[in-house]
Homo-oligomer: A and B are copies of this chain.
Amino acid sequence: MSARTRSWWGWGYDDGHQPVEALRAAAPAIVQQLGFGSAEVEEPARLADVLATLPAPRVPVPAALRGILTTDGEQRIRHAQGKSYLDTVRAFRGVIEHPVDAVARPRDEHELEAVLAWAADARVAVIPYGGGTSVCGGVEPRELGPRFEGAVSVDLGALDALHELDDVSRAARIGAGASGPRLEEQLRAHGMTMRFFPQSFELSTLGGWIATRAGGHFATVWTHVDDLVESVRAITPIGAWASRRLPGSGAGPSPDRLLLGSEGTLGVITEAWVRVQPRPEHRASRAVRFPTFLAGADAVRALSQSGLLPANCRLVDPLEAQQTGAGDGTTALLVLGFESTDHDVADRLDRGLAICREHGGSPDEPRAGGAVSAWRDAFLAMPYLRDTLMQVGVLADTFETAITWDRFPAFHETVVGATRAALGEPCRVTCRFTHVYPDGPAPYYTVIAPARRGDEVAQWQAMKDAASRAIVAAGGTITHHHAVGRDHRPYYETQRPDVFAAALRGAKAAIDPAGVMNPGVLLPAEA
């Protein structure tokens, strides 16, 4: 893995992107399939050109921190923003609007504390950085306001070790900087797995998952990383915040649940105890077709209320199933799967399929067409595909939410309608359920539209604003698992209780008196 190079502008690794020649050859087919886009393939800006115009850092690095902090230009650019469409299209065009002034890479908590102390003193905003995969402006030093002299990105990459493994309790203490593959590789040596697979798995980190309440592999019950966390340790400006390792507790509000979703505004998560398990030996899954997405949704509601607790219960609408090669566009696709480390799950799948049939579903033959694996492969490749589409003049983005079942049909119509209206024709707005609960689904929307080349930022902002307003107005959450960051904050502010915001401000003021922790995320920087 060490030979692979991270893309400086787009998703993931350079080798995940198509060479431009291949893209030129493929472009006409893409354009024909979508009915829009351009065979004129654009290439990303050159890093050297961006470096040449990079402004000097606004803050000097103190001598004592020279081994921890760097002002290397490439590092400052690579840590300047996340991987949202907004971030990627800007970088693609060579626009790095808010380069960080320095990048810290602490090798232990003492070094981290030294960075936080300096930042508070020098009025430098601190932006914790895990895999850099934020899709909501979580790591970009935007909207800092006049209080700050600059911004430092704190890369937790060096804190990636598996420290302890308790195979009796099935739990592991792991450094927050461990990426998905790094974490799983270390657990595998002990015959264990965390089985937490967000779409960003290849790059995102344990600390980032916790900070943003990431959504994982399991479609029911253990949907967020919250449900796998046993205890969390963070360094805050006033000291270490370390909860006890406990399987459960009722002693006051959960300290962990206040860090979960804090998005770097309260402190820097350095490690956590998480629940692990052996690899599941027993699996059973099947693809089921439904005449419409809403018919499939009725079946998924019944499944989510059945107590069968499928590991996989991902409903994909007809157009999205077609786009990912898992359908012909005439039916919605449900990928229904069960897994267990202990016992056969074939009976659960049978009962799940019976529920599907009761709701008009037609199960595929076992393994016929390979719809399950086709969908999974497409799932992991999707973020790369977004970049490919950008190069051929197509705007592609995703957003996600959750809503109760009673409101879902009207909600869905409203959100799709508002998004389509903002993008104009032709466009595609598709939907899948990533996670489901007895009381409602977490719908995940994908939008694809002809890009207004050179004006994508404004185009995207209009779409994002329309979709976000529709979601919040119709009763949903601005994010089920992507986080709030800076992009979602205006909508988050209309969603969360004002009194809770006051409480959060009070909590933050108490432990981050200089207000340097990720200002502008969750709360305005002025707060």
Q: Which residues of A contact B (CB under 8 A)?
A: 166, 168-171, 212-215, 221, 223-224, 230, 236, 238-255, 257-263, 266-267, 275, 277, 301, 305-309, 340-343, 347, 351, 355, 402-406, 435-442, 475-484, 488, 492, 495-500, 502-511, 522
Whether A435 contacts B238 by the Cβ 8 Å rule is no
CA distance A340 to B355 in the complex (A): 15
Max chain B CB contacts within 10 Å: which of A406, A475, A505?
Answer: A406
Task: Closest B residue to A221 by CB, please name it.
Answer: B221
| A307 proximity list for chain B (CB < 8 A) | 340-343
Q: Is the beta-carbon distance between A510 and B500 smaller than 8 angstroms? A: no
Q: What are 15 pairs between A and B in contact, CB < 8 Å? A: A168-B301, A168-B404, A168-B405, A168-B406, A230-B439, A239-B498, A243-B497, A245-B475, A250-B481, A252-B262, A252-B522, A255-B496, A255-B500, A277-B305, A502-B510
Which 7 A-B pairs give the minimum distances between C-beta atoms? A506-B510, A247-B440, A247-B437, A503-B507, A257-B257, A213-B250, A241-B499
The residue that A251 contacts in the complex, of B241, B275, B475, B496, with Cβ under 8 A, is B496
Q: Are B479 and A238 in contact (CB under 8 A)?
A: no
A198 to chain B, nearest CB (A): 11
| Residues on B with beta carbons closer than 8 Å to the beta carbon of A488 | 251
* A402→B253 contact, CB < 8 A: no
Which residues of chain B are within 8 angstroms of A505 by Cβ–Cβ distance? 510
| Residue ID in chain B nearest A239 by CB atoms | B499
Which residue, of A230, A253, A267, A495, has the highest number of chain B Cβ atoms within 10 A?
A253
Contact A258 B253 (CB under 8 A): yes
Q: Which B residues are CB-close (under 8 A) to A506?
A: 506-511
> Distance in Å from the Cβ of A399 to the closest Cβ of chain B?
12
Q: Which residues of B contact A483 (CB under 8 A)?
A: 250-251
Q: Quick check: A169 and B246 within 8 Å, CB to CB? A: no
Given the complex of chains A and B, what is the CA–CA distance between A342 and B406 in angstroms? 20
Task: Say yes or no: A212 contacts B250, CB within 8 Å.
Answer: yes
CB distance from A392 to the nearest CB of B (A): 32
Contacts of A436 in B (CB 8 A): 247
Cβ contact within 8 Å between B510 and A503: yes
Roughly how many angstroms separate A238 CA and B483 CA in the complex, as a whole number? 27
User: Which residues on the B side are within 8 Å of A492 (C-beta)?
Assistant: 251-252
Q: Are A247 and B511 in contact (CB under 8 A)?
A: no
Q: How many copies does the complex hold?
A: 2
CB distance from A304 to the nearest CB of B (A): 9
Q: How far is the CA of A212 from the CA of B252 in the complex (A)?
A: 7
**Cα–Cα, bound, A170→B302 (Å):** 11
* A-B contacts besides A240-B497, A249-B477, 15 pairs, CB < 8 Å: A166-B439, A169-B404, A170-B439, A221-B221, A246-B402, A247-B436, A247-B439, A248-B440, A251-B261, A253-B504, A254-B260, A255-B497, A266-B503, A307-B343, A503-B507
Q: Are A495 and B251 in contact (CB under 8 A)?
A: yes
Asked if B251 and A477 make an inter-chain contact with CB atoms under 8 angstroms apart, the answer reads yes
List the B residue with the shortest CB-CB distance to A167: B406
Name the B residues within 8 Å of A480 (CB-CB): 248-250
> How far is it, in angstroms, between the C-alpha of A244 and the C-alpha of B263 when the chains are bound?
20
Residue among A266, A306, A499 facing the most chain B CB atoms (10 A cut-off): A499
Of B213, B275, B441, B497, which is within 8 A of A241 by CB? B497
From residue A244, how far is it (CB to closest CB) to chain B in Å?
6
B258–A500 CB distance below 8 A: yes
With the chains together, A405 CA to B230 CA distance in Å? 13
Residues of B within 8 Å of A402, CB to CB, are: 246-249
Tell me the smallest distance from the CB of A411 to a CB of chain B, in Å.
Answer: 12
Contacts of A243 in B (CB 8 A): 496-497, 500
Docked complex Cα distance between A441 and B405 (Å) = 34
Whether the Cβ atoms of B166 and A248 lie closer than 8 Å is: no
- How far is it, in angstroms, between the C-alpha of A92 and the C-alpha of B215 when the chains are bound? 52
The answer on a CB contact under 8 Å between A351 and B342 is yes
Contact between B242 and A497 (Cβ–Cβ < 8 Å)? yes
Question: Contact between B507 and A477 (Cβ–Cβ < 8 Å)?
Answer: no
Bound-state CA distance A308–B348 (Å) is 12
